[in-house]
Structure 1
Amino acid sequence: MSFHFRSQHSRRQFHRPTRTSGPVIPDRVSRVYLSQDQLKELHFKPTIGSIQLSEGHEAKFNCSIDIPDARVEPTITWVKNGLDLAPNGQVLINDLQTDTDGVTTLLSAVSINPVQRVDAGDYRCRLTISTTVVESQPIIVEVDGLPTFIHQPEDRNITRDTPFTLSCEAVGPPDPVQIRWLRDGLPDSDYHKSPSSYSVPGVDKYTQFSCEAHNQKGVATSREANINIKVLPSPVSNVNVVKSQSNKLTLSWSPGHDGFSPLTKCHIRVKEVSRRKGEVMTTRFINVTVPPFQSEIPGLQSMTSYNMSVSCSNEVGASPISMWIQGNTTEGVPSVYPRNVTVQLNESWLVIRWKPPPDDKINGILSGYDVIVRYGTQEKKVSLSNNMHTNIYVILLNTHLKNTLGWVLSAVVNLGVSDELQAKLQDVMVMRSLLSIGKVLGEGEFGSVMEGRLRQPDGTSEKVAVKTMKLDSFSQREIEEFLNEAACMKDFNHPNVISLLGVCLEVGSGHFPKPMVILPFMKYGDLHSFLLRSRLGESPMFLPTQTLLKFMVDIALGMEYLSGRNFLHRDLAARNCMLRDDMTVCVADFGLSKKIYSGDYYRQGRIAKMPVKWIAVESLADRVFTVKSDVWAFGITMWEIATRGMTPYPGIPNHEIYDYLVEGHRLKQPADCLDELYEIMYSCWRADPLDRPIFTQLRKMLEKLTEKLPESSSKDDIIYINTSFPEEDPDGETLPVERPVFSSSPSCSHRAAENAVITADIHGSLEDEDDDDDDRYVVVISSDPSLRSSAPVVPAGDSGTVHVEVLPPAVAFTAPPAGQCPSSQGTWLLQSG
């Protein structure tokens, strides 16, 4: 006789105790060779039948069966409520097999420790031989414990002092189970046999009910049922006009708390805004079924203001009304034409006057007039804004006549700008005849900048830049914003802030005056383009740190001046800074500038196109601009300069910038940027605006850093600029060159040497005077014909006698590659030997 003992352990599988309709065939079937008669005689030995024990104890039971002539080891499986029983950390199954005289006895024992209520059920052994399934008698496991709730009291919303009923049911084992009710945690009834229904005559305030279930094992308590008293709804919120039309408005709102009773209707009050003091307007009521919480208000007058409020009702009554909001219907077509149209011919002027239609006939806000003038076979139509102070239009009949000051001032009035802006512009108005327009220097979406000449009172002329509106059709607001930029610059007087030379008016294609702003001509254009050319142009050049710091100090000086005069720039960037002839940077482009009259901030009142990547994080969130938001933009501008014109936040789209900044990210330190310089620009991007430095502090930090740096002394620190001779205009005046031309000639021929310079001004280099190892001179080459016989030609590569004038050091520029030579008019570097 031999004995075999096996233990099965695996991860437990959870099943809901249910019975199956048929036997479960295990995956593994024992191969035992028995006859049909032997199979019919197979059966499990009687089991214990039933087990009753308390929760938390250990449950043990087993089953066994004798099998004759078992050649392959058979296996007993257990099922609970018809489902396979899997062993786990709580359930242990042990199998024992004995062989005696050709008969195999199989025994399988189950241990459940600790037993829980969920372990109660019908347990059976099964043995599958071939297609025959042998099943034991059931072992019924009953687990005693605290009562289990199968129904608990539920929340109720009731009318005050109205009777209602609650129910509770719990079961054992052990039974019986007794129920006692609690109100707000205190006993409120006697014991009743489960299940129990509890009738409450009514309550007048919020109350909680629960039930206790008692049996021999102890007490279990149900959840607390919340009994809410139905009340009036809370006021609605977020009342908004979501759509405006000429004769109706669409209103939406958010409901308040329903008062523990569903909202059935909402009530809209509509009242036209009184146009005259003391006038009593009728209130109109509109009831709507909800949801949705949105409704149209029909039957309104066009271009009329209405006050509206909303309340909602449940079965108790209506909520308080919301705050009144105002909405406006859109305009309709005017009912009548302008009145009292008169035409007056005065020398070379044609003056047209009229009176507007009555207010009640306009059916909206009068936006403007179309003036149609026919003379001869021609017809002209001009659209005028209604913002003009007088309904008058002046036509210049002879366009070749010079504009007089009277015409200019009349045109300003016709533009319809405010009295305040008119007063600012009148003393800077320039007659159109004094301005000549040249080529276009740059164009944007709405405007362009052109080269021009402004004739002075003494007969001389000055090269200027003329900024004008690009389109012939523009709105009144666009004209006023354009002129407001000029008004911003009117009183500026600082070397690092661009100044205003004047404002001029030109009669457009529809004989409508078009404003033009006259600015100083900037030789090297905007700073951003200059930086890009230095890095990506046909002849790239290296800008040393000293030069970049000078650009930053210039901008800081300009912004320090502006902030001291209570001006917010709101669009500071390298593209809006200009380079003068002497490489001084000027802050420019005040299209978004605002003067602060009270407080220290400006709130953007309407949605507009804004430079997202230069805007401070708080301004992106709230559209609030302060001097500290200009400081943020200055930090971005410093980064542009340090990277020689790279675009901020490369690879990050505009719509992700806000989240990127809120998460704490900032622009990375450029590769060749000094740590101390990066710390200065990083201080401009602190999350709290109060922690950011002011422009005076920034300027001092940058100047201090500049003082720490040595003077440009290596060849790599010099920038070569091929500065052509100034152009000559027809009047004999000298015109400044438009931009630096960087020499990139690959070689110098002998002929080039022969036709090259006669004399040269040699500028002292930036070397230390005591350093004799590397003496260098910057030679300014002249092509003046009168000088061609005054000195011998210096051949390429040879030494010779030249006239030398030592000048003070200038801005440092980078040296060109070896082997390059300048043009016959330009700058050359000599190495003395």
Structure 2
Amino acid sequence: MKLVLWILLFFLWSHEGTCGDGVLFTKHPANQTVSQGNAARLGCAVQGVTEPDIVWMKDGEKLFSTDQMFITLGEQHWETYHSVKSVQQQDAGQYWCEVEFHGLTFSSERAWITVEGVPHFVQEPQDVATFPNVPFNLTCVAVGPPEPVEVLWWVGGVQEGEAGPSPSVLHVKGVNNSVKFYCEAKNTRGISVSRTGTVHIKVLPAAPVGLQVQKMVDNNVTLSWRPGFTGHSELSTCILQLSRRAVRRWELPQQEVLVPPHLQVLSGLRSHSNYSFRVSCVNEVGASPFSPWLHFQTPESVKYVPSTAAELAVSSPLLAAPLHVELSVFSPAFKPPGPESSVSFTAARSFNRTCAELHESTLDSLGINADLKNKLQDVLIPERLLTLGHMLGKVNGSDPLVSQ
């Protein structure tokens, strides 16, 4: 056993600095401690490769350099350097060089660049949103080298206590108003100042803005809005109020929806009706004021046909079945195409052939809205132009069934 161990130790000693068959690192990068702003230079040399294919690595990532140079030290013997003209904290780390040979990758020894300078922050104080007079903590962490690093707090332009070691946690008993704060970190190289944070007091949110109707399909309407000022507190829900305007305003049950997203689909609305909606949003403090009302009108639920001829179905107490009339100028009155088209309305009164004087029904007597009335002007057939055909039978022993 001892003999095997001695043979192994002799092998390792005789191949010290060797990467493989004929590949040998003759120079390795060395540890360096550099003051911030000064230059740093790492060297690496390898023997036994035909072409100078030496790559520099930092913390496991390949370094790409457009000005990397190779120096010939001899046959199949190359040297290269990695240089940093002005070292900053981000240049600190572990470095080494690599070379590929016959499909294998060989690495040099590893070295550290340590950057000395004023402290740099690992964790800077962040903005805080809180209720009035509620305690909270602020955290600041800064490091060197050189160490040690001390931290001093400033709140509202006033120094809070004395400097203490990093990391530092400042306990604030509570504030009534918004206030600014930051921390200072100091070592033998100088002082660094953190970002300035703000303590925000949570308040009610502002009213939502940008209310709009995104789309209307049949009797389904998609409404959207944008949140206003959140009051330094995340919005949880929004409240929708909807009303329908007819002879009088009907207030419909309000809806509460989770946000985001800031939109809602309303289903089952009445066709060709006037609606209004407004929104209020809620955070931890409470509900915002309502937005101004947004007014919109739902479309008519009229079916359409693509052709220029259509059939008008008229139902009347006089008729047991609808009276079908062919129309040749239907398209101008109803523009959008659809799978089929028919318009049904109920006559205001019935008539029979024994009546001495026939009072003609008018559009005003049909009980339809003004929009549809205008569209029917061109397609209405007056009663006086309809003639009764042959007797088809009787309903309840009296009213006849008629056809055109």
SS of residue matched to 1:204: coil
**Corresponding residue of 2:340:** none
- Does 1:283 pair with 2:262? no
Partner residue of 1:57 out of 38, 52, 61? 38
SS of residue matched to 2:180: strand
Q: How does 1:647-686 map to 2 (within 5 A)?
A: none
Q: Deviations over 1:328-347 (max 9, x none)?
A: 4566899863248799999x
TM (normalized to structure 2)?
0.59
1:216 deviates by: 1.4
Higher helix share: 1
Partner residue of 2:347 out of 337, 346, 350? 337
The alpha-carbon distance between structure 1 residues 336 and 190, as it changes in their structure 2 partners (threshold 3 A), is farther
**Corresponding residue of 2:5:** none
SS of residue matched to 2:15: helix
**Corresponding residue of 1:268:** 240
**Corresponding residue of 1:234:** 206
SS of residue matched to 2:386: strand
- Does 1:374 pair with 2:386? yes
SS of residue matched to 2:382: strand
Q: Structure 2: state its 5+ residue gaps.
A: 1-10, 19-24, 302-342, 391-404
1:287 deviates by: 1.9
Q: How does 1:79-94 map to 2 (within 5 A)?
A: 80-81=58-59
Supply the AA of the counterpart residue of 1:40: H
**Alpha-carbon distance between aligned partners in 1 of 2:218 and 2:50, rounded to the nearest angstrom:** 93
Partner residue of 1:40 out of 9, 15, 19? 15
**Corresponding residue of 1:176:** 148
SS of residue matched to 1:191: strand
The alpha-carbon distance between structure 1 residues 77 and 326, as it changes in their structure 2 partners (threshold 3 A), is closer
**Alpha-carbon distance between aligned partners in 2 of 1:142 and 1:240, rounded to the nearest angstrom:** 58
- Does 1:147 pair with 2:115? no
Q: Structure 1: state its 5+ residue gaps.
A: 1-35, 379-833
The alpha-carbon distance between structure 1 residues 177 and 301, as it changes in their structure 2 partners (threshold 3 A), is same
SS of residue matched to 1:153: coil
Q: Deviations over 1:16-46 (max 9, x none)?
A: xxxxxxxxxxxxxxxxxxxx99963667789
Of the two, which has the highest radius of gyration?
A: 1
Q: Deviations over 1:287-319 (max 9, x none)?
A: 231344444556766655444433222222222
**Corresponding residue of 2:293:** 324
- Does 1:217 pair with 2:214? no
Supply the AA of the counterpart residue of 2:280: S
**Corresponding residue of 2:327:** none
**Corresponding residue of 1:726:** none
**Alpha-carbon distance between aligned partners in 2 of 1:376 and 1:46, rounded to the nearest angstrom:** 116
The alpha-carbon distance between structure 1 residues 354 and 165, as it changes in their structure 2 partners (threshold 3 A), is same
Partner residue of 1:200 out of 169, 172, 190? 172
In the alignment of these two chains, the number of paired residues is 325
1:238 deviates by: 3.8
Partner residue of 1:314 out of 274, 283, 296? 283
1:286 deviates by: 0.8
1:271 deviates by: 4.0
**Alpha-carbon distance between aligned partners in 2 of 1:356 and 1:145, rounded to the nearest angstrom:** 91
**Corresponding residue of 1:166:** 138
2:34–2:40 CA contact under 8 A, matched in 1:
yes
1:62 deviates by: 5.4
**Alpha-carbon distance between aligned partners in 2 of 1:195 and 1:252, rounded to the nearest angstrom:** 46
The alpha-carbon distance between structure 1 residues 131 and 41, as it changes in their structure 2 partners (threshold 3 A), is farther
The alpha-carbon distance between structure 1 residues 185 and 341, as it changes in their structure 2 partners (threshold 3 A), is farther
**Alpha-carbon distance between aligned partners in 2 of 1:312 and 1:71, rounded to the nearest angstrom:** 70
Q: Deviations over 1:366-390 (max 9, x none)?
A: 6155434334759xxxxxxxxxxxx
Supply the AA of the counterpart residue of 2:382: V
The alpha-carbon distance between structure 1 residues 275 and 214, as it changes in their structure 2 partners (threshold 3 A), is same
SS of residue matched to 2:241: strand
Q: Deviations over 1:506-565 (max 9, x none)?
A: xxxxxxxxxxxxxxxxxxxxxxxxxxxxxxxxxxxxxxxxxxxxxxxxxxxxxxxxxxxx
Supply the AA of the counterpart residue of 1:338: A
Q: How does 1:489-508 map to 2 (within 5 A)?
A: none
**Corresponding residue of 1:120:** 92
Answer 1 or 2: higher relative contact order, Cα 8 Å, separation at least 6. Answer: 2
**Alpha-carbon distance between aligned partners in 1 of 2:66 and 2:16, rounded to the nearest angstrom:** 34
1:146 deviates by: 1.9
Aligned identity (percent) is 30
**Alpha-carbon distance between aligned partners in 2 of 1:85 and 1:267, rounded to the nearest angstrom:** 55
The alpha-carbon distance between structure 1 residues 275 and 83, as it changes in their structure 2 partners (threshold 3 A), is closer
1:57 deviates by: 2.5
Q: Deviations over 1:247-273 (max 9, x none)?
A: 776544333233232333322334454
The alpha-carbon distance between structure 1 residues 365 and 163, as it changes in their structure 2 partners (threshold 3 A), is same
1:51–1:141 CA contact under 8 A, matched in 2:
yes
1:144 deviates by: 0.7
Note the aligned Cα RMSD (angstroms). 5.0
The alpha-carbon distance between structure 1 residues 139 and 93, as it changes in their structure 2 partners (threshold 3 A), is farther
Q: Deviations over 1:586-608 (max 9, x none)?
A: xxxxxxxxxxxxxxxxxxxxxxx
1:184 deviates by: 4.7
Higher strand share: 2
**Alpha-carbon distance between aligned partners in 2 of 1:299 and 1:133, rounded to the nearest angstrom:** 70
TM (normalized to structure 1)?
0.32
